[in-house]
Homo-oligomer: A and B are copies of this chain.
Amino acid sequence: MAYATVTRLYSDQPLGGGISVPLDDAQTHYLRNVLRLGAGARIALFNGADGEWWAEIENLRKNGGAARPVEQRRKPRAEPDLWLVFAPLKRARIDYLVEKATELGVSALLPVITERTIVERLNLDRLRAHAREAAEQTERLTLPEIRDPMPLGALLADWPADRRLLACVESGAAPPVAEQLAREQPGKWAALVGPEGGFADSELDAIGKLPFVCAVSLGPRVLRADTAAISALSLLQAFLGDWRAGRGA
Protein backbone atom coordinates (compact mmCIF):
# COMPACT_ATOMS: atom_id res chain seq x y z
CA MET A 1 0.00 0.00 0.00
CA ALA A 2 2.97 2.36 -0.40
CA TYR A 3 1.05 2.94 -3.62
CA ALA A 4 -1.54 5.10 -1.92
CA THR A 5 1.04 7.60 -0.70
CA VAL A 6 2.15 8.70 -4.18
CA THR A 7 0.95 12.18 -5.05
CA ARG A 8 -0.90 11.73 -8.34
CA LEU A 9 -1.96 14.77 -10.32
CA TYR A 10 -4.03 14.80 -13.49
CA SER A 11 -2.45 16.86 -16.25
CA ASP A 12 -4.12 17.95 -19.47
CA GLN A 13 -0.65 18.63 -20.93
CA PRO A 14 1.32 16.14 -23.09
CA LEU A 15 3.47 13.91 -20.87
CA GLY A 16 6.75 12.34 -21.99
CA GLY A 17 10.36 11.89 -20.93
CA GLY A 18 12.28 15.15 -20.58
CA ILE A 19 9.39 17.48 -21.39
CA SER A 20 8.81 20.35 -18.96
CA VAL A 21 5.16 20.10 -17.98
CA PRO A 22 3.50 23.25 -16.64
CA LEU A 23 1.53 22.87 -13.39
CA ASP A 24 -1.53 25.04 -12.92
CA ASP A 25 -1.99 27.43 -10.01
CA ALA A 26 -4.03 25.02 -7.90
CA GLN A 27 -1.51 22.20 -8.38
CA THR A 28 1.41 24.50 -7.63
CA HIS A 29 -0.28 25.83 -4.50
CA TYR A 30 -1.12 22.31 -3.32
CA LEU A 31 2.40 20.97 -3.83
CA ARG A 32 4.13 23.96 -2.27
CA ASN A 33 1.83 25.03 0.54
CA VAL A 34 -0.06 21.87 1.48
CA LEU A 35 2.48 19.12 0.85
CA ARG A 36 5.48 21.48 1.34
CA LEU A 37 7.39 19.96 -1.53
CA GLY A 38 10.20 21.67 -3.40
CA ALA A 39 12.32 21.27 -6.55
CA GLY A 40 13.50 17.69 -7.03
CA ALA A 41 10.60 16.03 -5.20
CA ARG A 42 8.93 13.23 -7.09
CA ILE A 43 5.23 13.10 -7.94
CA ALA A 44 3.21 11.30 -10.60
CA LEU A 45 1.43 12.99 -13.51
CA PHE A 46 -1.17 11.21 -15.58
CA ASN A 47 -3.73 11.45 -18.33
CA GLY A 48 -5.56 9.05 -20.58
CA ALA A 49 -3.44 9.71 -23.68
CA ASP A 50 0.06 9.40 -22.21
CA GLY A 51 -0.46 7.16 -19.18
CA GLU A 52 1.21 7.92 -15.87
CA TRP A 53 4.73 9.29 -15.38
CA TRP A 54 7.02 9.73 -12.43
CA ALA A 55 7.96 13.39 -12.58
CA GLU A 56 10.40 15.62 -10.73
CA ILE A 57 9.28 19.02 -9.62
CA GLU A 58 11.34 21.69 -11.39
CA ASN A 59 9.93 24.73 -9.66
CA LEU A 60 6.86 25.90 -7.77
CA ARG A 61 6.78 29.62 -8.46
CA LYS A 62 3.82 31.73 -7.47
CA ASN A 63 2.90 32.28 -11.08
CA GLY A 64 2.84 28.57 -11.89
CA GLY A 65 5.23 25.66 -11.49
CA ALA A 66 6.62 22.89 -13.68
CA ALA A 67 7.57 19.23 -13.40
CA ARG A 68 9.64 17.00 -15.66
CA PRO A 69 8.47 13.44 -16.39
CA VAL A 70 11.38 11.02 -15.94
CA GLU A 71 9.96 7.53 -16.27
CA GLN A 72 6.66 6.04 -17.34
CA ARG A 73 4.88 4.46 -14.38
CA ARG A 74 1.87 3.07 -16.27
CA LYS A 75 1.08 2.84 -19.95
CA PRO A 76 -2.18 4.24 -21.33
CA ARG A 77 -4.86 1.58 -21.23
CA ALA A 78 -8.50 1.23 -22.08
CA GLU A 79 -10.75 2.36 -19.25
CA PRO A 80 -14.43 1.41 -18.87
CA ASP A 81 -17.06 2.89 -21.17
CA LEU A 82 -19.79 3.25 -18.56
CA TRP A 83 -22.23 6.12 -18.11
CA LEU A 84 -24.27 7.21 -15.14
CA VAL A 85 -27.55 9.03 -15.82
CA PHE A 86 -28.91 10.66 -12.66
CA ALA A 87 -31.13 13.46 -11.45
CA PRO A 88 -29.25 16.20 -9.57
CA LEU A 89 -29.27 15.91 -5.78
CA LYS A 90 -28.55 18.27 -2.94
CA ARG A 91 -25.00 19.47 -2.63
CA ALA A 92 -23.37 17.00 -0.22
CA ARG A 93 -25.03 14.02 -1.88
CA ILE A 94 -24.14 14.97 -5.42
CA ASP A 95 -20.52 15.63 -4.47
CA TYR A 96 -20.40 12.21 -2.88
CA LEU A 97 -22.06 10.60 -5.87
CA VAL A 98 -19.54 12.13 -8.28
CA GLU A 99 -16.67 10.87 -6.12
CA LYS A 100 -18.11 7.35 -5.90
CA ALA A 101 -18.99 7.13 -9.59
CA THR A 102 -15.42 8.17 -10.44
CA GLU A 103 -13.98 5.47 -8.17
CA LEU A 104 -16.30 2.93 -9.77
CA GLY A 105 -14.90 3.73 -13.21
CA VAL A 106 -17.66 5.81 -14.80
CA SER A 107 -16.59 7.46 -18.07
CA ALA A 108 -19.42 10.00 -18.27
CA LEU A 109 -21.87 11.53 -15.81
CA LEU A 110 -25.12 12.73 -17.40
CA PRO A 111 -27.36 14.81 -15.15
CA VAL A 112 -30.98 14.77 -16.27
CA ILE A 113 -34.03 16.78 -15.30
CA THR A 114 -36.99 14.54 -14.53
CA GLU A 115 -40.56 15.42 -13.62
CA ARG A 116 -39.80 15.25 -9.88
CA THR A 117 -36.27 16.67 -9.95
CA ILE A 118 -36.01 19.33 -7.28
CA VAL A 119 -32.44 20.59 -7.59
CA GLU A 120 -32.07 22.07 -11.04
CA ARG A 121 -29.06 24.32 -10.74
CA LEU A 122 -25.76 22.51 -10.86
CA ASN A 123 -22.28 23.86 -10.31
CA LEU A 124 -20.52 21.81 -12.96
CA ASP A 125 -17.10 23.28 -12.17
CA ARG A 126 -17.37 22.07 -8.59
CA LEU A 127 -18.44 18.62 -9.74
CA ARG A 128 -15.53 18.46 -12.20
CA ALA A 129 -13.10 19.36 -9.42
CA HIS A 130 -14.51 16.54 -7.28
CA ALA A 131 -14.20 14.09 -10.15
CA ARG A 132 -10.60 15.12 -10.74
CA GLU A 133 -9.70 14.69 -7.09
CA ALA A 134 -11.37 11.27 -6.99
CA ALA A 135 -9.56 10.19 -10.17
CA GLU A 136 -6.24 11.24 -8.63
CA GLN A 137 -6.92 9.12 -5.57
CA THR A 138 -8.37 6.04 -7.26
CA GLU A 139 -5.51 5.26 -9.71
CA ARG A 140 -7.53 6.08 -12.82
CA LEU A 141 -5.78 7.58 -15.83
CA THR A 142 -8.80 9.48 -17.15
CA LEU A 143 -11.31 11.93 -15.76
CA PRO A 144 -15.00 11.23 -16.23
CA GLU A 145 -16.76 13.64 -18.53
CA ILE A 146 -19.49 15.65 -16.78
CA ARG A 147 -22.16 16.70 -19.25
CA ASP A 148 -24.55 19.63 -19.10
CA PRO A 149 -27.94 18.73 -17.61
CA MET A 150 -30.73 17.99 -20.06
CA PRO A 151 -34.32 16.77 -19.83
CA LEU A 152 -34.58 12.99 -19.42
CA GLY A 153 -36.99 12.72 -22.34
CA ALA A 154 -34.60 14.49 -24.72
CA LEU A 155 -31.68 12.29 -23.64
CA LEU A 156 -33.64 9.09 -24.16
CA ALA A 157 -35.06 10.29 -27.51
CA ASP A 158 -31.51 10.68 -28.80
CA TRP A 159 -30.00 7.63 -27.06
CA PRO A 160 -27.20 5.79 -28.92
CA ALA A 161 -28.51 2.49 -30.30
CA ASP A 162 -25.46 0.48 -29.23
CA ARG A 163 -25.62 1.31 -25.50
CA ARG A 164 -27.76 -0.61 -23.00
CA LEU A 165 -29.36 1.25 -20.08
CA LEU A 166 -29.81 -0.42 -16.69
CA ALA A 167 -32.84 1.38 -15.23
CA CYS A 168 -33.22 1.00 -11.44
CA VAL A 169 -36.94 1.22 -10.78
CA GLU A 170 -38.96 0.95 -7.59
CA SER A 171 -41.78 -1.12 -8.96
CA GLY A 172 -42.81 -4.70 -8.30
CA ALA A 173 -42.68 -5.77 -11.91
CA ALA A 174 -38.93 -5.41 -12.55
CA PRO A 175 -36.78 -8.54 -12.18
CA PRO A 176 -34.08 -8.81 -9.50
CA VAL A 177 -30.86 -7.17 -10.69
CA ALA A 178 -28.58 -10.24 -10.42
CA GLU A 179 -31.01 -12.45 -12.33
CA GLN A 180 -31.20 -9.88 -15.13
CA LEU A 181 -27.49 -9.04 -15.34
CA ALA A 182 -26.57 -12.74 -15.53
CA ARG A 183 -28.39 -12.77 -18.89
CA GLU A 184 -26.78 -9.63 -20.32
CA GLN A 185 -23.61 -9.17 -22.36
CA PRO A 186 -20.62 -6.87 -21.74
CA GLY A 187 -20.37 -3.80 -23.96
CA LYS A 188 -21.42 -0.18 -23.68
CA TRP A 189 -23.64 0.30 -20.64
CA ALA A 190 -25.22 3.07 -18.61
CA ALA A 191 -27.04 3.08 -15.27
CA LEU A 192 -30.12 5.24 -14.71
CA VAL A 193 -31.35 6.28 -11.27
CA GLY A 194 -34.29 8.56 -10.51
CA PRO A 195 -34.58 11.63 -8.29
CA GLU A 196 -35.27 11.33 -4.54
CA GLY A 197 -39.01 11.40 -5.22
CA GLY A 198 -38.77 8.60 -7.79
CA PHE A 199 -39.77 8.63 -11.43
CA ALA A 200 -43.32 9.67 -12.34
CA ASP A 201 -45.56 6.86 -13.61
CA SER A 202 -45.54 8.36 -17.10
CA GLU A 203 -41.73 8.36 -17.07
CA LEU A 204 -41.65 4.73 -15.93
CA ASP A 205 -44.04 3.76 -18.72
CA ALA A 206 -41.92 5.52 -21.31
CA ILE A 207 -38.65 4.04 -19.97
CA GLY A 208 -40.12 0.55 -19.93
CA LYS A 209 -40.96 0.70 -23.64
CA LEU A 210 -37.46 1.58 -24.87
CA PRO A 211 -35.62 -1.25 -26.63
CA PHE A 212 -32.22 -0.49 -25.03
CA VAL A 213 -33.59 -0.44 -21.45
CA CYS A 214 -33.07 -3.25 -18.98
CA ALA A 215 -35.25 -2.42 -15.95
CA VAL A 216 -34.32 -4.03 -12.64
CA SER A 217 -35.22 -3.96 -8.96
CA LEU A 218 -32.65 -3.23 -6.26
CA GLY A 219 -34.50 -5.08 -3.53
CA PRO A 220 -37.31 -4.46 -1.06
CA ARG A 221 -36.02 -1.35 0.73
CA VAL A 222 -36.28 2.25 -0.43
CA LEU A 223 -32.81 3.37 -1.49
CA ARG A 224 -31.71 6.94 -1.76
CA ALA A 225 -30.73 7.95 -5.29
CA ASP A 226 -27.02 8.06 -4.45
CA THR A 227 -27.13 4.60 -2.89
CA ALA A 228 -28.96 3.17 -5.89
CA ALA A 229 -26.36 4.67 -8.23
CA ILE A 230 -23.41 3.18 -6.33
CA SER A 231 -25.13 -0.22 -6.13
CA ALA A 232 -26.01 -0.25 -9.83
CA LEU A 233 -22.50 0.74 -10.91
CA SER A 234 -20.93 -1.88 -8.63
CA LEU A 235 -23.19 -4.57 -10.09
CA LEU A 236 -22.51 -3.53 -13.68
CA GLN A 237 -18.75 -3.59 -13.05
CA ALA A 238 -18.91 -6.95 -11.24
CA PHE A 239 -21.13 -8.70 -13.81
CA LEU A 240 -20.13 -7.09 -17.09
CA GLY A 241 -17.28 -4.64 -16.50
CA ASP A 242 -13.63 -4.60 -15.57
CA TRP A 243 -14.12 -6.12 -12.11
CA ARG A 244 -14.45 -9.48 -13.89
CA ALA A 245 -10.68 -9.62 -14.39
CA GLY A 246 -9.69 -9.00 -10.77
CA ARG A 247 -7.22 -6.46 -9.52
CA GLY A 248 -4.15 -7.81 -11.21
CA ALA A 249 -5.55 -7.20 -14.71
Contact = CB atoms under 8 A, between A and B. Distances in A.
A154 to B, nearest CB: 23
Q: Among A99, A171, A197, A218, find the residue whose CB has the most chain B CB atoms closer than 10 A.
A: A218
Contacts of A242: 219-220
A51 to B, nearest CB: 14
Given A4-B198, A248-B172, A234 B231 contact: yes
A178 B239 contact: yes
A243 B224 CA distance: 16
Interface size class of A (residues with CB under 8 A): 35 or more
A72 interface: no
Contacts of A197: 1, 4
Contact of A231 (B139, B230, B246): B230
A28 to B, nearest CB: 25
A242 to B, nearest CB: 6
A201 to B, nearest CB: 9
B221 A103 contact: yes
A61 to B, nearest CB: 32
A99 B93 CA distance: 12
Contact of A96 (B96, B172, B241, B245): B96
Given A104-B227, A197-B4, A227-B230, A220 B238 contact: no
Given A139-B220, A172-B248, A176-B243, 6 more contacts: A100-B230, A103-B227, A174-B247, A219-B237, A219-B242, A220-B245
Interface of A: 1, 3-4, 96, 99-100, 103-105, 116, 137-140, 170-179, 196-198, 217-224, 227, 230-231, 234-235, 237-239, 241-249
